[in-house]
Amino acid sequence: MIKISNRQIVDVLRFSDDKAVLVEKKPNPDSTSYGVNYFILNFSTGEKEIVTKDAYLLKKYGTKRKEISEKLGNFVMPGAMILEDRSVLVIYPNGETGLFNAEGELVRDGLLSYNDSPVCCIAEDGNCFWSVCEGENAVIRYFAEGAKMDIRIGGKNQLTFERPHFVSADDKYVYVCCNHNSVRKIDKATFTVTDVNRRYNDITGYYKFGKFAIVTTFDGAYCDKD
C-alpha cells in the first residue's frame, strides 16, 4: 500500500473513471477548530491534484449544491445520494437524515434507525442504498424513495458482521468495514457474503475503484491495488 495522506480523511467520492476526490481534516491555526483540504487522486498517474470546494460539492450534491450545503452547515460528514428526480438524500453518522427537493429545499428530515439503533452511511445500489447499523450488527438495503427497508443481512446475535461501521459500493459488491480490522463484501447479485482478501488495521473506510482501493484509517489514507 502507498500512503496518500497523513491526515484524517472525512470523505471520499468518485470523481471520474480514474480519479477520486478526498477530503482531509486539518487543524486551524487556533488549534481549537478544524478546516478541510480537497484533493484528487489520479489512479492512472498516481499523482495528487488540487480540486476546488465547488467541484466537490457538485459531485456530492448536484446543481443545487450551494443551497443544500448552506442549509446543512457541515456538508462533509453526511453521506449523500442524488436521486432520479434530482432530489438529494443525506444521512449523518448519527442517523439524522434529510431529503432536499430538486430546488434545494429541505422537505423531510428525521432519524433513520433499526430496533432503536441509529443507521448510517449511504452506498448506492440503483434505486436503493445500503447502510449499516453497528448496534444491531446489521447491513440494510433501503429503497431510496421513502427510505423503506428492503433487505437486511446480519443481526444482533449473528456473526456475519461484527460492529459494522462503514459501507461503500462499486458496480458488483457492497463493502462493509467491521470492528476496525476487517472488510467483508456482499455480492449485489446473490447477496453472498465473503471477505476481502486483505486485512487492514484501524480501518475507518474502504472505497473500491476498479483495481484500486482507498483505505482510510485513524492515521491517514492509503491506496491499495489488486
Identify which has the larger pLDDT, 156 or 28.
Answer: 156
Give the span between the Cα atoms of 185 and 152, in whole angstroms: 14
Report in angstroms the alpha-carbon separations of 64 from 30, 68, 71, 103, 128: 32, 6, 11, 6, 22
Task: Provide the whole-model pTM.
Answer: 0.93
List, for residues 60-102, the tens digit of each pLDDT value: 999 999 999 999 989 999 999 999 999 999 999 999 999 999 9
Beta partners for 131?
Answer: 140
Identify which has the larger pLDDT, 32 or 99.
Answer: 99
Report helix, strand or coil for 49: strand
List, for residues 180-203, the tens digit of each pLDDT value: 889 999 999 999 999 998 888 899
DSSP label of 211: T
Q: Do 75 and 59 touch, CB atoms closer than 8 A? A: no
Report helix, strand or coil for 222: strand
Give the span between the Cα atoms of 218 and 9, in whole angstroms: 9
